[in-house]
Amino acid sequence: MQVVRLRRLREKSTIRDWISETELHPKNIILPYFVVEGKGTREPIKSMPGVYHLSIDNLLKDIPEAVGIQSILLFGIPESKDRLGSQAYKKDGVVQKAIRAVKKKFKNLIVILDVCLCGYTSHGHCGIVKDGKIDNDASLEALAKIALSYAEAGADFVAPSAMMDGQVKAIRETLDENGFKDVGILAYSTKYASNFYGPFREALDSAPQFGDRRTYQMDFRNSDEALREIKQDIDEGADIVMVKPALAYLDIIYRAKQKFNVPIAAYNVSGEYSMIKKLSGGDRIKERDLALEVLTSIKRAGADLIISYFGKEIGKWLC
């Protein structure tokens, strides 16, 4: 039998480009930002080299540097926290002010808001705590209130990430009742109780003060359950569903893409980002090559959108 020469298609870089199946593009990347009160702040987040706490003035300066990026995900760091996370739905909260400023300056940028309580509660949990437990239904009310305040400030999408049952339905109903039918929901449908969120929790100072998140975030031994979570969110009105983390969960992205015909987003989380930073040890070329390989694998698995802290570099790398 003749040798089948698959290498013919790898002989030249133009041929490799010609037949490449997966194309990463900055327009499909969502860039997260951490916003703080004040002016002139650009404080490096130690656990996430290259990522900063930015005050709104510096956020507005930073966005144009993200070549080709068409969407951002905002997280706010409040000045104070309480048991109910009430700073999260303050009209002039840091993140509400940031949304207004960003939408005023960058009209076509899609602004997405993470809807959760963990960054705003003194106990660091993603829901309301009653008698030492995370109370699902009391949390729904709070989450809907937060989502509404983001919509009022001008958010294009809200992204519920608390993993409470019924959160998409509660938010959809509240938005609709208040005239925000066009505000979309990007649901963190399958958010695993992952060890890869460590650096982010330092950035947001949101580590739980007692217990852990395993009574609401998903068990990483399961994947059928992930499909149930996604189905439920679609039925409740999610426009886009998310798998998080991404790199350690490529099988979930793949299964979700095969099964559902809604756009799939994947969150390449802080620990996955920091891992690449560590491995490349400050070598920019190594960092680029590692990041492009990882992000392409997430796209190849089936993600339409990728949330990535490399968002600012991607446009430069790909041009």
Residues that are catalytic: 191, 244
- Bond into 263 cis (ω within 30): no
| Residue 270 sits in the site that holds ligand PBG (CB under 6 A) | yes
Give Cα 14 to chain centroid, integer Å.
34
For position 118 contacting ligand PBG by CB under 6 A, the verdict is yes
* 143 touches ligand PBG by CB under 6 A: no
| Shortest separation between residue 3's beta carbon and ligand PBG, angstroms | 47
Interface residue with ligand PBG among 269, 294, 295, 306 (CB under 6 A) is: 269
Task: Determine, following the binding rule CB under 6 A, whether residue 200 of this chain makes contact with ligand PBG.
Answer: yes
Nearest to 84 by CA among 146, 166, 35: 146
- Contacts with 26 (C-beta within 8 Å, 6 or more apart), sequence order: 66, 67, 68, 69, 70, 311, 314, 315, 318
Single out the residue of 197, 216, 249, 310 in contact with ligand PBG (rule: CB under 6 A).
Answer: 197
Question: Is 308 one of the binding residues for ligand PBG (CB under 6 A)?
Answer: no
From candidates 36, 115, 116, 250, binder to ligand PBG by CB under 6 A? 116
Closest approach of ligand PBG to the CB of residue 1, in Å = 50
- In this chain, which of 54, 114, 146, 310 binds ligand PBG, going by CB under 6 A? 114
32: left (phi over 0), alpha (psi -120 to 50) or beta: beta
Looking at 92-100, 133-141, 197-205, 251-259, which segment touches ligand PBG (CB under 6 A)? 197-205
Nearest approach, Cβ of residue 197 and ligand PBG (Å): 4
The answer to whether 121 contacts ligand PBG (rule: CB under 6 A) is no
Q: Does 158 bind ligand PBG (CB under 6 A)?
A: no
Task: Please state the closest distance from residue 110 (CB atom) to ligand PBG, in A.
Answer: 18
Number of residues that bind ligand PBG (CB under 6 A): 11
User: Which of these ranges, 7-15, 94-102, 200-208, 251-259, lies near ligand PBG under the rule CB under 6 A?
Assistant: 200-208
| Nearer to ligand PBG among residue 59 and residue 116 (C-beta) | 116
Q: Tell whether residue 161 is a contact of ligand PBG (CB under 6 A).
A: yes
User: In the complex with ligand PBG, which residue's Cβ is closer, 58 or 161?
Assistant: 161
Q: In the 3-class helix/strand/coil scheme, how is the chain assigned residue by residue?
A: CCCCCHHHHHCCHHHHHHCCCCCCCHHHEEEEEEEECCCCCEEECCCCCCCEEEEHHHHHHHHHHCCCCCEEEEEEECCCCECCCHHHHCCCCHHHHHHHHHHHHCCCCEEEEEECCCCCECCCCCCEEECCEEEHHHHHHHHHHHHHHHHHHCCCEEEECCCCCCHHHHHHHHHHHCCCCCCEEEEEEEEECCHHHHHHHHHHCCCCCCCCCCCCCECCCCCHHHHHHHHHHHHHCCCEEEEECCHHHHHHHHHHHHHCCCCEEEECCHHHHHHHHHHHCCCHHHHHHHHHHHHHHHHHHCCCEEECCCHHHHHHHHC
Residue 310 binding ligand PBG, by CB under 6 A: no
Residue 201 sits in the site that holds ligand PBG (CB under 6 A)? yes
By beta-carbon proximity to ligand PBG, the closer residue of 34 and 180 is 34
CB 2, CB 294: distance < 8 Å: no
CB-nearer residue toward ligand PBG: 42 or 201: 201
Q: How far is the CB of 167 from ligand PBG (least distance, A)?
A: 12
Q: Which is nearer to ligand PBG, 180 or 310 (CB)?
A: 310
Which residues contribute to the site for ligand PBG (CB under 6 A)? 114, 116, 118, 126, 161, 197, 200-201, 206, 269-270
